[in-house]
Amino acid sequence: MIGQLTGLVGQIEGERCIVDVNGVGYVVSASTRTLAVLPQPPSVARVLIETIVREDAIQLFGFATTDERDWFRLLTTVQSVGAKVALAILSANNPGELLLAINAGDKGSLTRAAGVGPRLADRILSELRNKVAKMPGGGGTVSAPGIVSGPSVENDALLALAGLGFRRAEAWPVLSKVLAENENATLDLAIRLSLKDLAR
């Protein structure tokens, strides 16, 4: 149901935080890596979300990159690897390290994650060995967490500026000028330069 949240991150406790979107604070579970890179208030953070619905819970799992989310989806296909264990594995390994570990049959990288013993590590290696060829992190650049560049900078900057209270009708012309004058501007640069102009 929910695939993405853009808001203020707060109350980081263990593997959870609150992402506050205009007054509704959503409880998001994430790997310690993702929690560590999420921009702190007053900056606005955008988190990719996987919603898991059960009879007794509706849980939101958050990721800084599509790579991490795709690995979460693949890990949770393995029998006995639930969301919590998948997050623990992603806290212990980034996507690139995970791909290397599975290709190399390296159990150690998996067992250093909480909740993963030798037997479960064996099962992960055997079930996933033939499924990781197309997984991200294999030689391609691991997209920097939270930093999005390229065509969607415009959308994300618009969202962030809207999150800061600027009307899209005001923000958009200023942002377009900034993007025209700074060809490969990252999201962070686009927002900062626009703010300079808008805050005048």
Residues that bind a copy of itself (CB under 8 A): 1-8, 10-11, 18, 20-27, 41-42, 49, 51, 53-60, 152, 154-155, 158-159, 162-170, 172, 195, 198-199
Residues present in the chain in total: 200
Strand boundaries in 80-125, DSSP class E: none
Smallest gap from residue 120 Cβ to a copy of itself (A): 23
Q: Please, which residue, 32 or 43, has the CB nearer to a copy of itself?
A: 43
Rounded-to-integer distance, Cα 184 and Cα 173, Å: 18
Rounded-to-integer distance, Cα 153 and Cα 187, Å: 5
Smallest gap from residue 20 Cβ to a copy of itself (A): 6
Q: Please, which residue, 133 or 169, has the CB nearer to a copy of itself?
A: 169
Smallest gap from residue 195 Cβ to a copy of itself (A): 7
**In sequence order, which residues have a C-beta less than 8 Å from that of residue 162 and are 6 or more positions away?**
168, 171
Q: Which amino acid is at 154?
A: E
Q: Please, which residue, 69 or 121, has the CB nearer to a copy of itself?
A: 69
- Tokens representing residue 124 in the block: 């992960």
